[in-house]
Amino acid sequence: MPRYFFHTTHERREVDEVGEDLPDKHAAWEEATRTAGQILQGLDGKLTPGREWRMEVTDEKQNTLYILHIQAEKPTGT
């Protein structure tokens, strides 16, 4: 079974050195979206305007398969 890695960046880059065995890249996408939701919920207000949160999903060869990117912004004039 292939192994996928879920690297995150918020304030600093966290490299997933363990990864997870999953059947295919579609299962990796599903895992990424579930995990991203849990991590974002756990930030508990720490994602502030001008900051970003990012998850990069890679395969065993470190090829990037998906990127989830959340950019917090404050509209001009508010």
Structure confidence at residue 38 (pLDDT): 92
Structure confidence at residue 73 (pLDDT): 84
Q: What is the pLDDT of residues 41-72, one digit of tens each?
A: 888 777 888 888 999 999 999 999 999 999 88
Can you read off the two tokens belonging to residue 66? 């998906």
Q: Which residues contact 33 (CB under 8 A, 6 or more apart)?
A: 68
3-class SS letters over 5-17: EEEEEECEEECCC
Q: What is the pLDDT of residues 1-18, one digit of tens each?
A: 999 999 999 889 999 999
